[in-house]
Amino acid sequence: MKDYCVEKGISYHLTVPRTPQLNGVSERIVRTITEKGRTMISGASLNKVFWGEAVLTATYLINLTPTKALKQNKTPFELWHGKRPRVKYLKIFGSTVYIHNKVRKTKFDEKSWKGILVGYEPNGYRVWAKKRIKTGKRAAAHTLSYLTIDQRTNVILISVVLSPCNSLLLYVSRS
């Protein structure tokens, strides 16, 4: 491990076993990843069995996000790969997507499978479809909307997500 870190220009520091208080930065990023994963599962109304996919996706997205820790206003992806990350392909975790069926035997077989986006592959998407994880290079996504009812104010909040960066909020009074 030491040789690998030196080769990649990674500085590392060893700490005493069973002393998480000495690993402040590491413990904080683990907490951040866990919170993002939990929020993604909750926001998509998915079962907790998808926690691994959510954590991997959260980590992937964090690596595409600029951080103050790097002081160069760059993303971890950018520093590691030497180029800016493409983000146009990102879709919302838990959204309904359709992936191309590569194994069509007849012209009446399904052209695509309906599934739930649960992550990313180096050149595609990870989709839960037909009781297993499938991968696909292209995934067509539906617009995703959430419905929330505020019991205190009796207001219905409809959040329509148009893209990963755009959303529309509608407030409707129930009275």
Kindly give the confidence (pLDDT) of every residue in the chain, 175 residues in length, as a single tens digit, with 9 standing for 90 and above.
889 988 988 888 888 888 888 888 888 999 999 999 999 998 888 899 999 999 999 999 999 888 888 877 788 998 889 998 888 888 888 888 888 877 777 888 888 888 888 999 888 889 998 888 888 887 777 655 555 556 666 565 555 655 555 555 555 554 4
Please list the residues that pair with 167 across neighbouring strands.
161
Residues 101 and 84 in one domain: no
60 shares its domain with 112: no
Whether 76 and 103 map to the same domain: the answer is no
Chain centroid offset of residue 154 CA: 32
Tokens for 96, please give them: 């309904």
DSSP-H helix ranges across the chain = 2-8, 24-43, 51-63, 76-81
- Which residue bears the tokens 């695509």? 112
Number of domains within the chain: 2
State which of 66, 90, 114 marks the end of a domain: 90
Residue 9 lies in a domain: no
pLDDT at 151: 60
Instruction: Round to whole Å and give the CA distance between 122 and 52.
Output: 17
Full residue range of the structural domain in which residue 151 is found: 92-174
77, 128: one domain: no
**Are 97 and 141 within one domain?**
yes
Spatial separation of the C-alpha atoms in residues 169 and 130, rounded to whole Å: 32
Of 33, 61, 90, the position where a domain reaches its end is: 90
Q: Do residues 113 and 166 share a domain?
A: yes
Bridge-based pairing state of the strands 144-150 and 139-141? unpaired
Residues 106 and 84 in one domain: no
Q: Would 80 be classed as within a structural domain?
A: yes
Return the pLDDT at 162: 52
